[in-house]
């Protein structure tokens, strides 16, 4: 079959769904991968997977009526030109626009996968009015689109229930697909490093990711004189909840965190003992899955998407959201009880093998789309 896959970014499509695209191609399907931001590198990598890269115009954020209408119309024309039998979109904006465009193009099988509800549906303090306005607009567009979708898949039950409760989609059109998964051979377990207990947070530098909570918790532990390192990986973002480069540099100058910027996670994770993600809401974070596969204890929040990665007290700790003191207390406990770090890391690897094997999760997705 010919399958159109849509995403809001070429690199994220390669990172999060590269294995899925390859498995579709190996099964004999023709795959056209739509993204708005291909460059020479991502085009080459997509071709190496066996999929055909296709640019389409779509702004990652913001809603301007003329521009958004143009995106839907242009995408519909491209889909009509390629004539796929199946269209599957990832992330909330491509799912809405892709479903409408596929319906206009006459594509009979239309699927979507929600990988987190993002800025709009996260209960953050910044941009509250903008969040409410976007919620209204997205809810209206989504209701229109999802009357025309065959199946909408979610990564966690909280997101699914929220869309059903808001009457954005009927429950019989939903399914729980679970995590994106990780390649357990690529992300193999590695020994814990020598030296002081090292914590690592890897995320876009947003307030909604709990970056401020992590920095404040690190500040608390610094005042206690504990021998620790705090690594912060990630880049400044155009999201309204993003910190500025000057703010982050201030934390570095104060000796609170080390910030190498936007770098590959694996070498830095090998230097860390504990992965920390105090996020306000997630789909089901890939970074945490990768940390678990490498055998790292995890501290995260008892929030949608995050709580799916930790059995409290088994492979890490769940802490309240927006609570740096509780986060610092959990971190302090691991510093003072290093044997827990090793035992929890072993449990993380076991859970990753049991829950986050990318090949098993891809079979689940393919089954939902009736491709196996």
pLDDT at 137: 85
Mean pLDDT across the stretch 194-219? Answer: 96
pLDDT at 241: 80
Whether 197-355 and 2-181+357-368 are alike in CATH topology: the answer is yes
Answer whether residue 125 shows pLDDT above 60.
no
Answer whether residue 189 shows pLDDT above 80.
yes
- Quickly tell me which residue has 């827990």 as its tokens: 340
Q: Given this structure, which CATH class describes domain 197-355?
A: alpha beta
DSSP annotation of 309 reads G
Rounded CA-CA distance 80/74 in Å is 10
- Quickly tell me which residue has 């206690």 as its tokens: 224
Residue pLDDT, tens place only, 25-42: 999 999 999 999 999 999
In the chain, which ranges are continuous DSSP H helix? 10-26, 40-49, 65-82, 92-104, 118-121, 128-146, 157-165, 211-223, 245-253, 265-269, 286-293, 324-336, 338-355, 358-368
pLDDT at 60: 66
Rounded CA-CA distance 92/206 in Å is 19
- Quickly tell me which residue has 């678990």 as its tokens: 292
Residue pLDDT, tens place only, 226-243: 999 999 999 998 777 889
State the Rg of the chain over Cα: 21
pLDDT at 82: 97
* pTM metric for this prediction: 0.92
What CATH fold (topology level) applies to the domain 2-181+357-368?
Rossmann fold (3.40.50)
Measured in residues, the chain has a length of: 372
Q: Say if residues 53 and 29 touch (Cβ distance below 8 Å).
A: no
Give the tokens for residue 125.
């303090």
Answer whether residue 122 shows pLDDT above 80.
no
Answer whether residue 220 shows pLDDT above 80.
yes
Q: Residue 99's closest CA among 80, 112, 113, 86? A: 112
Answer whether residue 114 shows pLDDT above 90.
yes
Helix, strand, coil % in the chain, rounded to nearest 5: 45, 20, 35
Domain ranges within the chain, ordered by starting residue: 2-181+357-368, 197-355
User: What residues form DSSP beta bridges with 142?
Assistant: none
Residue pLDDT, tens place only, 40-82: 999 999 999 999 999 999 876 656 678 888 999 999 999 999 9
Q: What mean pLDDT, rounded, does the chain reach? A: 94
């Amino acid at each position: 079959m010919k399958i159109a896959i849509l995403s809001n970014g070429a690199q994220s499509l390669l990172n999060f769904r590269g294995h899925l695209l390859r498995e579709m191609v190996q099964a004999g399907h023709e795959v056209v991968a739509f993204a708005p931001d291909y460059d020479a590198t991502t085009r080459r990598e997509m071709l190496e997977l066996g999929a055909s890269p296709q640019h389409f115009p779509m702004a990652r954020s913001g809603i301007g009526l003329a521009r958004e209408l143009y995106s839907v119309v242009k995408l519909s024309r491209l889909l009509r030109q390629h004539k796929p039998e199946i269209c599957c979109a990832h992330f909330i904006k491509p799912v809405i626009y892709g479903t409408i465009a596929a319906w206009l193009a006459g594509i009979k099988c239309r699927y979507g996968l929600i990988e987190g509800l993002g800025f709009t549906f996260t209960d953050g303090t910044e941009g509250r009015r903008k969040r409410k306005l976007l919620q209204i607009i997205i809810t209206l567009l989504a209701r229109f689109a999802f009357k025309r979708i065959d199946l909408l898949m979610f990564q966690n039950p909280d997101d699914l229930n929220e869309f059903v409760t808001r009457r954005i989609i009927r429950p019989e059109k939903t399914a729980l697909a679970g995590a994106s998964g990780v390649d357990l051979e690529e992300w193999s377990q590695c020994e814990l490093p020598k030296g002081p207990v090292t914590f690592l947070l890897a995320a876009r530098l947003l307030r909604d990711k709990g970056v401020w909570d992590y920095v404040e918790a690190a500040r608390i532990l610094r005042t206690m004189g504990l021998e620790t390192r705090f690594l912060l990986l990630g880049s400044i973002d155009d999201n309204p909840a993003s910190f500025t480069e000057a703010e982050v540099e201030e934390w570095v100058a104060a000796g609170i965190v080390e910030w190498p910027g936007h770098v590959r996670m694996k070498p830095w994770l090998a230097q860390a003992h504990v992965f920390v993600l105090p996020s306000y809401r997630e789909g089901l974070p890939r970074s945490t899955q990768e940390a678990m596969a490498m055998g790292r204890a995890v501290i995260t929040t008892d929030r949608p998407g995050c709580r799916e990665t930790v059995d409290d007290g088994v492979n890490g700790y769940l802490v309240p959201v927006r609570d740096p003191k509780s986060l610092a207390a959990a971190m302090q406990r691991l510093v003072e009880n290093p044997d827990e770090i090793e035992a929890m890391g072993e449990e993380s690897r076991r859970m990753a093998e049991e829950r986050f094997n990318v090949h098993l999760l891809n079979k689940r997705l393919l089954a939902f789309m009736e491709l196996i």
